[in-house]
Structure 1
Amino acid sequence: MKLLLLAGTSEARKLAISLADEPRIKVIASLAGVTREPLDLPVPMRKGGFGGRAAFREYLRDQAFDAVVDGTHPFAAKISKRCCEVAREMDLPHLQILRPEWQPEAGDLWTFIADESKAAGHIPQGATVFLATGRQTLHRFGNMTGRKLICRQIDSSEGEFPFEGGEYLIGRPPFSIEEEVELFTRRKVDWLVVKNAGGMLSRSKLVAARQLRIPVLLINRPPVLECARVETAEAALDWVRGLL
């Protein structure tokens, strides 16, 4: 069986590792190319987009894939939607790995918002805001004038920060709770903004915010797709093996 794995998450990485020594399954892992130097996977990899819906469909057909697993980021809405629809059109078995959302615990100061543009309505002028949302959606914070924005990203930026008074902070996760507490304290962070991506590896910033009593804005996820779905790499592995 030949499987296309749309990767980019820790769950997809775990699945790739589990399938690397499976002789009955040939896996091709695809990375969108958002990160310039992603970690290697133990299976053949391709990097970069497909060039649109028609090109994705052609790739699936020409490469004779038997199934597709979508292990992309919970906020990769366009990619996931296209994958789901094209797989349905081609009658290919398709599965999405979607880890659970974060849920608030005692002591958390969380507010849920629909999208990045709503942050300005909650964060006062003069605040130092830590954006753990990535550079791809940074432009959506254009109405945050009067606040100091710190945007953390994995790769260095090729241009200047798009908003006055803001800056990029380069760092590759995961980060420990202690590291996040030290960073937020040193940079005098007043607010934290994150996407509700879920997952244990990146939850440390939320725990640090709880300890420091920093209020957090969580951006809600895109609508859930109507497709087969599991929450873990282990469940995805069972699904793939069930196709044999």
Structure 2
Amino acid sequence: MRVLILGGTTEASALARLLAADARHEATLSLAGRTARPLPQPVPVRSGGFGGVAGLVEHLDRERIEAVVDATHPYAARMSVNAVAACAEAGVPLASLRRPAWERQPGDLWQEVPSTAAAAAALGDPPRRVFVTVGRQELHVFAAAPQHRYVARLIETPDQDGLPPDLVLLRQRGPFDRAAEERLLREQAIDVVVSKNAGGSATYAKIAATRALGLPVVMIARPDKPVGHVVASPEAALAWLDHQRSLRGV
């Protein structure tokens, strides 16, 4: 069965590995193209957008895609909107691989906000030393609060203008461990952490580190995303694909 994985997450890569080892499926992994040097994958990879809903419908038809798994980042709302609409129009079954969100634990000092702009405003007026882990696409938002000193961890250097004036860039790729995260927060004398509620284990160490050090976190809430059939793991996605094969009598 020809499968399209909408990726960019550790779960998408894990599903790609499962499908690469399963001769019953022929998978392609689609990436947004925001990372110039993505990690190698065990299945063919396409990069870049589809051109909206119409472009994705055309791609599904041209490539004879029989099932789609949306394993995009929890904050990649536009792609998920397009996937639901395109799969409905094309009559292609869609599964949405949704990693559970992080949940507040005893000792967590979270201030939950609805957006990155709200996170910048929530930092307040007095200067603070802020560890920002929101990705390079939205880093410019914090220029609206230039009084703070920012430390941002990114895979690649941001290419937009208007970044905060007092900004230190750390080019690092996860996963990270708690001891290293605690050490980083201490060395940079961080007062507050800004994070998206990405879920999963790859970057949770920073949350555990803030809890251990008693640091506050400005937590940006997840956007509401439309979904297909929801699965919680790559293994569950594979089981769903097997079920789709059985429905086709393959």
User: What TM-score bracket applies, with the shorter chain setting the length?
Assistant: over 0.9
Question: What is the SS of the residue equivalent to 1:19?
Answer: helix
Cα root mean square deviation, aligned? 1.5
The 8 Å contact of residues 137 and 158 in structure 2, kept in 1 or not, is answered as no
Distance 1:114 1:157, change over 3 A: closer
Distance 1:159 1:242, change over 3 A: closer
TM-score normalised by structure 1 residue count: 0.95
Q: Which residue of 2 aligns with 1:16?
A: 16
**One-letter code aligned to 1:166:** L
Long gaps (5+) in structure 1: none
Q: Which residue of 2 aligns with 1:189?
A: 190
Query: Per-residue displacement from partner, 1:221-243 (whole Å, max 9, x unpaired)?
Result: 11142421111111111101111
Residues 55-134 of structure 1 aligned to structure 2 (within 5 Å): 55-124=55-124, 125-134=126-135
User: 1:20 Cα deviation (Å)?
Assistant: 0.6
Question: What is the SS of the residue equivalent to 1:136?
Answer: helix
**One-letter code aligned to 1:44:** P
Give the distance between the partners of 2:179 and 2:162, measured in 1 at CA: 27
Q: Which residue of 2 aligns with 1:234?
A: 235
The 8 Å contact of residues 161 and 168 in structure 1, kept in 2 or not, is answered as no
Tell me if 1:53 matches 2:53: yes
Which structure: greater helix fraction?
2
User: 1:158 Cα deviation (Å)?
Assistant: 4.7
Query: Per-residue displacement from partner, 1:166-194 (whole Å, max 9, x unpaired)?
Result: 23221111111111111110000101011
Give the distance between the partners of 1:13 and 1:150, measured in 2 at CA: 28
Distance 1:118 1:160, change over 3 A: closer
**One-letter code aligned to 1:87:** C
Long gaps (5+) in structure 2: 246-250
The 8 Å contact of residues 149 and 166 in structure 2, kept in 1 or not, is answered as yes
User: 1:139 Cα deviation (Å)?
Assistant: 2.4
Tell me if 1:164 matches 2:176: no
TM-score normalised by structure 2 residue count: 0.93
